[in-house]
Chains A and B, each alone.
Chain A
Amino acid sequence: MSGSTVRPPAGRRERGGLSSRLSKLPPIVLNMAAFLVGIAIWELVVSTGAVVLPGPAAVFWRGVELVQTGQLPLDVLASLKRVLMGFTLGVALAVPIGFLMGWYGIARSLIEPYIQFFRMIPPLAVIPLAIVTMGIDETPKVFVIFLASFLSSVIATYQGVLSVDATLINAARVLGASDAMIFPRVVVPASVPFILVGVRIGLGSAWATVVAAELIAAQRGLGFRMQQAQLYYDLPTIFVSLVTIGLLGLIMDRIVQMIDRRLTSWQERA
C-alpha cells in the first residue's frame, strides 16, 4: 500500500557512523543500490554454477533482441489490451453495483449471495468453461479478467458506501439535504478512497489473471510467450517475460496510486 521507501525515525542518528552517512543519501540512491546488489548476487550465484539459470546479461540481451524483433512490444500490447478491456468493464460495472448494494438494503440482500458465491471461485477456474462457451478468441480472456476485477472491486465499493460516516450524512440532513442530494454530494465523495482501493485490487487481479489466461489459450501475449519458451527450454525468454510482467504491474499500480493521491488529497493521513 505505502511507498517503496521507509525513512528511519528522525531522532535515531549515530554520529559519524556508516548508517548515519547512508541515511543522509536520498532514498532513491539506496533503492538503486539495493537493485544493483541484487543483480550482482544473481550473477554470482549463476556463475558458480550452483543453479542452472541464465545470468542477468543473458536475460538482458534476450530482452534487447525481443524488442528489436518486435515480438516483446506485440506481446505487451496484446496483454495490456486484454487487461485494460477486462479491467475497465469490471470496474465500470462494479462501481454502480457497489453503490446500489451499499445504499439499498434490498439490493444488497438480492445481490450479495451471488457475489459472495462467485468470489469463492477463482476466476482461473472459469477458464475451461469460458473457452468451451465463448471459443478461443479474445472474448473468454477478457471475460475472465472482467470477472476477476469486477468481483474484487465490487466488494470494496460497497464496503466503502457502508462505512460512510453516519455523522456526515446527518450533518447533510440537518442542513436540509434530501436523500437524492446526499447521495451524489456526500456518499459518492466519501466513498472515493474505498473505490480506489477496489480499483487497485481489481487491477492487481486483472493482471494476475491475464497471464494465466494466456498460458492456456492464446496466440500472443506475455503468458503465451512464456508457454512457448517453456516448450523450447528457452529460459532467458521466460525471464524477460517475468520481468516485463513485474515492471508493467508496478507501473500500473503506481499510476493508480498517483490518481488516488490526487483524488483523495483531502483525506487526513496519519
Chain B
Amino acid sequence: MSDPKISFRAVSRRFEAGERSFLALDSFSLDIADGEFVTVVGPSGCGKSTAMNIAAGLLAPSDGEVLVDGRPVQGPGPDRGVIFQQYALFPWLTVRQNVEFGLQVAGMSKAERRRVSDRFIELVGLADFADALPKTLSGGMKQRCAIARAYAVDPTMLLMDEPFGALDALTRVVMQDQLLVTWGRERRTVMFITHDVDEAVYLANRVVIMATRPGRLYEIVAVDLPYPRSEEIRLSPEFATIRNRVWHAVYHQPKSETSSDRREDP
C-alpha cells in the first residue's frame, strides 16, 4: 500500500477546566489510505469528535501530530472537507450560494462557479431546490446540500462528524445509500464519525472502535464486504457477523482502571 492519505501520530488532547484536566484523546494513532472509507464508532466521550476536529485543523493537539499527504496539519484548509452534524448551512444563502461559498472565497469566476455548483447540486439530487433557502429544506436535504458544498471545493478527503445523527431512521438509510453512491462516483478518502454500529459497518472499509476514559483507540475491524452495498448486504449473515463483532467491541468494553475526571496537578 502507498503512503497513507492521513496519519494520526500519537495524538493526544487534554482539556483544562480550572484545576481539573481531562484527557479527551490519549495517544491516538491511525493511518487511513487514499480513497478509503473509515468509520469511527464509540461511546460518547471516546474522543472521536476531538480526533476529527484535530484532523480538520479546528483544534490543536496537545501532543503528537496529524499528517495529511505527509504534511502536518496547521489549520483548516479546503483540502479537507468537513460535514457537521448540525448541517452548518449559511441560512441567508440559497442552496446554490451555499455550494458556491467555498468557490467564491477561492476567487473562482462566476461562470466557473456556476458550472461546479450545477454539477454537485445535481449529484446530491437538489437541482429543483437550487434557489431555495435552507429553512425550506428537510433535514436530509440540508445535509445533502452540506455534502455538495463540501465536495464543490474539491477536497481530497472528507471528515464527517455524525452527519446523519439528527435524521430519522428511514431518512438515514436513504442518506447512507446516497452517500455511498456519491463516494463511488467521486472517490475521496472519508473519515466518518458515528455512534450507530449499523451505519459504521454498512459504510466502511474499516471500522475504528474507540474507548473512553481516556478516549483512545480500542479495536479496528475490517469490513470485507464488496461495494456497491445494498439492502441485500445489509441483511446478509456476513453483515450480521461483523456487526455483532463491532457491537461487542463498542458495548462490552472492559471497565478502564482510570476515571475520566481525575484531579491532577496543574
Contacts and interface: CB of A to CB of B under 8 A. Distances in A.
Contact of B135 (A171, A175, A190, A267): A267
B88 A181 contact: no
B106 interface: yes
Contact of B82 (A171, A190, A267): A171
Contacts of B106: 176
A165, A171, A181, A189 — most chain B CB neighbours (10 Å) = A171
Nearest to A176: B78
A189 B118 CA distance: 25
A178 B134 CA distance: 24
A172 B101 contact: yes
B56 interface: yes
B78 A186 contact: no
Given A167-B84, A170-B58, A173-B58, A267 B91 contact: yes
Given A176-B78, A176-B102, A177-B105, A170 B91 contact: no
B58 A168 contact: no
B143 to A, nearest CB: 13
A267 B91 CA distance: 7
Interface in A179-226: 181, 185-186, 189-190, 192
Interface of A: 165, 167-168, 170-178, 181, 185-186, 189-190, 192, 265-268
B233 to A, nearest CB: 32
Nearest to B75: A173
Nearest to B77: A176
B166 to A, nearest CB: 12
Contacts of B21: none
19 contacts: A167-B86, A168-B90, A170-B88, A171-B88, A171-B89, A172-B101, A174-B57, A174-B80, A174-B81, A175-B102, A175-B153, A176-B76, A176-B102, A178-B105, A185-B105, A186-B90, A189-B92, A266-B135, A268-B91
A181 B76 CA distance: 14
Given A167-B84, A266-B133, A174 B91 contact: no
A168 B105 CA distance: 15
Contact of A266 (B84, B88, B92, B153): B92
B144 to A, nearest CB: 15
B135 A268 contact: yes
A170 B90 contact: no
Contacts of B57: 174
Contacts of B82: 170-171, 174
A188 B50 CA distance: 29
A121 B151 CA distance: 54
B101 A175 contact: yes
Interface string B88-115: 1111110000000110011000000000
B149 interface: yes
B209 to A, nearest CB: 26
B57, B90, B134 — most chain A CB neighbours (10 Å) = B90
B59 to A, nearest CB: 10
Contacts of A268: 91, 135
B219 to A, nearest CB: 29
Given A171-B88, A174-B58, A265-B133, 15 more contacts: A167-B84, A167-B86, A170-B82, A171-B82, A172-B105, A174-B56, A174-B57, A174-B76, A174-B77, A175-B102, A175-B105, A176-B153, A177-B105, A267-B91, A268-B91
B193 to A, nearest CB: 15
B146 to A, nearest CB: 8
Contacts of B134: 266
A165, A173, A174 — most chain B CB neighbours (10 Å) = A174
A166 B237 CA distance: 43
B260 to A, nearest CB: 24
B91 A176 contact: no
B91 A171 contact: no
- The 10 A-B residue pairs with the shortest CB-CB distance, nearest first, are A175-B102, A176-B78, A171-B88, A174-B82, A266-B92, A268-B135, A173-B76, A177-B105, A167-B88, A174-B76
Contacts of A192: 92
Nearest to A168: B88
A175 B149 contact: yes
A176 to B, nearest CB: 4
Contacts of A267: 91, 135
A51 to B, nearest CB: 51
Contacts of A171: 82, 84, 88-90
A56 B222 CA distance: 85
Contacts of B105: 172, 175-178, 181, 185
A190 B90 CA distance: 8
A210 B82 CA distance: 52
A170 to B, nearest CB: 5
A259 to B, nearest CB: 15
A177 to B, nearest CB: 4
Contacts of A172: 90, 101, 105
